[in-house]
Amino acid sequence: MNRLAGKVAMVTGAGRGIGAAIAAAFVREGAAVVLAELDIALAQETAQKIGSTDNVLAVQTDVTQSASVQNAVREAEAKFGPIDVLVNNAGINVFCDPLTMTDDDWRRCFAVDLDGVWNGCRAVLPGMVERGRGSIVNIASTHSFKIIPGCFPYPVAKHGVIGLTRALGIEYAGRQVRVNAIAPGYIETQLTHDWWNEQADPAKAKQATLDLQPMKRIGRPEEVAMTAVFLASDEAPFINASCITVDGGRSALYHD
């Protein structure tokens, strides 16, 4: 407990799912947390559930807009002081066939899944570099390393998140700013349910997903959150420009 005591953290897309679980875990570990979320009503609801006005703040934020992210950082710092930890979690699934995908699908995917991560990094890095401390955790995906046909261009953007993590991790290592990623496998959130529900037979699609898993279950948002706490904390001082996979071993499996 209190592994993040005294730290100020910002989590994007923290209204629900993995982001909400990370925000809740950070609060439990003693951090003051800013929920930077598109849906402000959802963020406020989550904020009330996980803490109080003393340690949680919800700020309406669109990660695709750098001015919006800069504004969230300003509001966060005005309330709690300099940001020590940023989790770039906001992300969307854009799963298309490459040749029928529209230009808009491509742009929507990159705007959130890659530009959004950069906008977050760019907003906090000047302060972190100046203070000589900070931890950024980018939520990538097993799609950052593996390809599932028909899921284009999401894996392209998520590969980019790893490139961004490594590049910035090296760029600012000398200033003691660590930049790492987490690559979750299947995690049970709204995103996953939406995907199952889009399939012709949702129950069958869910069962097929479970059958693929070495542990015969998919992950819980809290299991990603535990890894985020570790990377954000002072327990990981020499982990930088790295990625931790949280997928129950699925991506190591060749086939049954």
Contact letters for ligand NDP, residues 12-51 (x by CB under 6 A)? xx-xxxxx-----------------xxx------------
Binding segment toward ligand NDP, per CB under 6 A, in 72-80, 88-96, 128-136, 164-172: 88-96
CA dihedral 195, 98, 88, 50 (to 10 degrees): -10
**Which member of 154, 172, 186, 254 is catalytic?**
154
**Site for ligand NDP (CB under 6 A): which residue of 31, 56, 75, 89?**
89
> Nearer Cβ to ligand NDP, position 11 or 168?
11
Q: How does DSSP classify residue 88?
A: E
Within 160-199, the residues that bind ligand NDP by CB under 6 A are 184, 186-187, 189-192
The three-class DSSP label of residue 143 is: helix
154 is catalytic: yes
CA dihedral 26, 29, 34, 39 (to 10 degrees): 40
> Nearer Cβ to ligand NDP, position 88 or 233?
88
Query: How many residues interact with ligand NDP (rule CB under 6 A)?
Result: 29
Cβ atoms 151, 107 nearer than 8 A: no
**Contact flag: residue 138 with ligand NDP (CB under 6 A):** no
> Nearer Cβ to ligand NDP, position 89 or 135?
89
State the Cα–Cα distance between residues 35 and 43, nearest whole angstrom.
Answer: 6
Q: Contacts from 188-196 at CB under 8 Å and sequence distance 24+?
A: 188/218, 188/219, 188/220, 188/221, 189/16, 189/17, 189/18, 189/221, 190/16, 190/17, 191/17, 191/92, 191/93, 192/218, 194/93, 195/93, 195/95
CB of 36 to ligand NDP, least distance (A): 7
> Nearer Cβ to ligand NDP, position 27 or 72?
72
State the Cα–Cα distance between residues 11 and 103, nearest whole angstrom.
Answer: 29
- Which residues are paired to 178 by β-bridges? 135
**Site for ligand NDP (CB under 6 A): which residue of 61, 135, 209, 240?**
61
Q: And the tokens for 122? A: 């760019």
Consecutive H or E run containing 3:
none
> Nearer Cβ to ligand NDP, position 39 or 105?
39
Q: Which residues of the shown chain bind ligand NDP in the complex (CB under 6 A)?
A: 12-13, 15-19, 37-39, 61-64, 89-92, 112, 116, 139, 141, 184, 186-187, 189-192
Catalytic residue positions, numbered:
154
